Structure 1
């Protein structure tokens, strides 16, 4: 069970639904990619479907780390889990894949509450929300972000 302190509507709107991380230009630090995030307040305003919008943020030819706060429903209850995603498309440069793979554990240690980890190697692996549904709970997940699987 996730316990949150009480928050105002403004604070809730500023919560991040999805955020992408990349390596700095000198490849020495992992930084937030500021333009590549979805806030809870964006949903229903500028973002219709958070999962589809998140997938569109991923670059086709380079690696990224991502955190996605998945809201889903099982046959018993509604749930929220934090998913760590290592995006390493086949078309990314080999050097980039190696650097991202070797620094993955460092970024994961910085975040508490990660329930699931998912390495994705191409759009075919991630574009269908049912694949994430399987990662979250196998065949008991009936909807993701309010959309049936």
Structure 2
């Protein structure tokens, strides 16, 4: 049974852009998202992107030194959200791996 919550077109576009790695110009690569946080709208009907809750590839190493730490800082202190994070890591000394990780985040009130 579906929840009835819709997903905004912008969320689908962002997911597709992060998932599909295509040849791009250096400027397009800098504008690509490293991480983004999604929220349920105030009327509880749609999953949306909140302005400023993202990390761009071009910011990593320039204004953001630790992208994952910065990403964790984007998560809400007392709310729930969804997030996508484009993780890259060394599998071996010769190869780098990239994975798109989907998070469902819920702050528990105690």
Smaller-chain TM-score bracket: 0.7 to 0.9
Q: Report which structure shows greater RCO (CA 8 Å, sep ≥6).
A: 2
CA–CA distance in 1 between the matches of 2:81 and 2:62? 26
TM alignment of 1:1-149, pairs within 5 A: 4-75=21-92, 77-91=95-109
SS of 1:60's partner is coil
Deviations 1:76-114 (A, max 9, x none): 62100000000012129xxxxxxxxxxxxxxxxxxxxxx
Task: Name the CA shift for 1:3/1:39 in 2 (closer, same or farther; >3 Å).
Answer: closer
Could you list the runs of 5+ residues in structure 1 that have no partner in the other structure? Answer: 93-149
How far does residue 6 in structure 1 lie from its aligned partner after superposition?
1.8
Residue in 2 that maps onto 1:115 = none
How far does residue 3 in structure 1 lie from its aligned partner after superposition?
7.5
Task: Name the CA shift for 1:33/1:5 in 2 (closer, same or farther; >3 Å).
Answer: same
Taking structure 1 as the reference length, the TM-score comes to 0.57
Taking structure 2 as the reference length, the TM-score comes to 0.76
Could you list the runs of 5+ residues in structure 2 that have no partner in the other structure? Answer: 1-18
Q: Give the alignment's Cα RMSD to 1 decimal.
A: 1.9
Name the structure where helix makes up a greater proportion of residues.
1
SS of 2:68's partner is helix
How many pairs align?
91
Task: Name the CA shift for 1:3/1:64 in 2 (closer, same or farther; >3 Å).
Answer: closer
